[in-house]
Chains A and B, each alone.
Chain A
Amino acid sequence: MSDRKAPSEADVARFGKCAGFKISARNQRQVATTLRDLRAGVMKMDALIAEDTVPAVIFDATWED
């Protein structure tokens, strides 16, 4: 998916099909823009952090991890 172009409503319907779930027609546009906007925001930050950063898969609030 491009960071700039939102998936189309048809794309979103297909994503739903892949996940075995029907995205309601009235929400397809909103889902598409949310997917695009949030991914773009996340990737902006990703560009700023060190390559070797690991994901906080199981989150632990202590400083040590």
Chain B
Amino acid sequence: MASSTELHFLTIAEAARLVKSKRLSPVDLTRAALDRIGALDRRLKAFVTLLDGPAEKSAKAAARNIARGNYLGPLHGIPVAIKDLYDTKGVKTTSCSKVRANYVPTEDATVVRKLKEAGAIILGKVTTHEFAFGFDAPPTRNPWNVEHTPSGSSGGSACALAAGMCYGATGSDTGGSIRAPASVNGVAGLKPTYGRVSKAGVAVLSWSLDHTGPLARSVEDLALILNVIAGPDALDPTTKDVRVPNYVRMLTGDIRGLRIGVPQNYFFTDVQKPVARAVRRAIRTLEGLGGIVSAVRISHLEHMLPSFFSIVIPEAAVYHQKAFRKHPAKYGPDVRALLETGQVYLASTYITAQRNRFAFKAAFREAFKKVDVLVTPSMPVTAPKIGQETYRFGNREEPVFTSSARFCCPFNLAGLPAVSIPCGFSADGLPIGLQIVGKPFDEGTALRVAHAYEKNTEWHKMRPPL
């Protein structure tokens, strides 16, 4: 692996500075991304729909506007990729399912509209697991080793970023679908607080667990995108009218005195050794930067997964009810089995899971009385091989689906903001992710800690050997 400062690997912040000062044209930036896609995507398969013509047209328009002095801000002229779960006006939005093979929305999802209004260039649509219901994004490959998956469901977004095929991307996260692919592709991903970013125009997996958010190559880039997409939306009744700070200004680099909680239960059990080592080392780095590290216990976590699945499965089944009953054979076999389960799920199990959820939330509330952020591994593992079904931890075998979800989904149940950033590599060169979790609507502090770590390490600068 090698460090790289080529045009296609610029961060948004770096590119924006050059674009603003007219030293780099959005046309050249877009061309660099499209050339990179042309060179690599036949192998990596991140893009479902490439909008090369419209992207070049938008880039020319952005260049003209900037030349006239109408600079819109840091996303102006920046090429981004959109997960194929997000509605894009006039552009096929398939959710990577035969069910929506020909669906062309007449409006943009709110997040897409906001990105366009900020001047971002839409390069195309990237893969998701079918309707985001899985930790993979076939046929996309992991750029660090194409024999491995990019995880999912926002696998196309993370792959495209890691490979330098875009500068920012959108994702969605119901049980880790932003953070898991960010972790295994060596990029940054943020699941904001539930209600912070609109989900309007994004296909539902689970109304009460879904979150939308950004992926990028740096924490500053996550903050730049969040500045644009955060805020209440009349089209999404789950959004909250909570003040949106300037997240970039919160990246002070200073975490002295900040209270960092490290859970002593759950998050360090059944973890691959290189992952545990990398995360422990990252915690020492944060302590070295002046963070006050303390051990915390969060009760009931060991019982959390069944409640998570007992919410997501029936909620997904209800969202898909009409289409599924009409065309069950159009769904892939794994999603079909889950939706069939959801069709006959007991209401009493679902409601019991929602009661449990209250108890989980209370447990986190208790923990956050003593700390400002929690730090955990994003995942217990590195990327699985294509076709791999389980991981082994001693004598215990665990399905890939569960391994991928178990450190991320507690924060979907609690609705807390959580960011994943690179913190190391396994011996075979696969990225490892560090998860930093904040209090509700305090994305700023989680990003501040992530940014301080990033500034003092080199992991985010590593590029896959493509």
Contact = CB atoms under 8 A, between A and B. Distances in A.
Interface stretch (B264-272, B355-363, B374-382): B355-363
Contacts, number: 124
Interface in B323-362: 325, 328, 336-337, 340-341, 343-346, 349, 351-359, 361
A59 B352 contact: no
Given A24-B328, A30-B337, A59 B208 contact: yes
A61 B357 CA distance: 11
Interface in A9-63: 12, 15-16, 18-19, 21, 23-24, 27, 30-31, 34-35, 37-46, 48-50, 53-63
Contact of A35 (B195, B346, B415): B346
A61 B195 contact: yes
B306 A41 contact: yes
B307 interface: yes
Residue of B305, B341, B351, B414 with most partner-chain A CB within 10 A: B341
A21 B325 contact: yes
B300 interface: yes
B193 interface: yes
B355 A53 contact: yes
Given A31-B340, A42-B307, A61-B416, A1 B346 contact: yes
Bin chain A's interface residue count: 35 or more
B355 A49 contact: yes
Contacts of B361: 56
A56 B208 contact: yes
B303 A41 contact: yes
A60 B352 CA distance: 17
Nearest to B365: A63
B139 interface: no
Contact of A19 (B344, B349, B440): B344
Residue of A31, A57, A59 with most partner-chain B CB within 10 A: A59
A58 B194 CA distance: 12
A56 B303 contact: no
B174 interface: no
Contacts of B343: 16, 19, 21, 23
Residue of A43, A49, A50 with most partner-chain B CB within 10 A: A49
Interface of B: 193-195, 208, 238, 240, 300, 303-307, 309-310, 313, 325, 328, 336-337, 340-341, 343-346, 349, 351-359, 361, 365, 414-416, 440-441
21 contacts: A27-B337, A27-B340, A27-B341, A30-B337, A30-B341, A35-B346, A37-B306, A38-B306, A39-B346, A40-B306, A42-B307, A45-B356, A46-B355, A48-B303, A48-B359, A49-B300, A56-B358, A58-B208, A59-B415, A60-B240, A61-B416
Interface of A: 1, 12, 15-16, 18-19, 21, 23-24, 27, 30-31, 34-35, 37-46, 48-50, 53-63
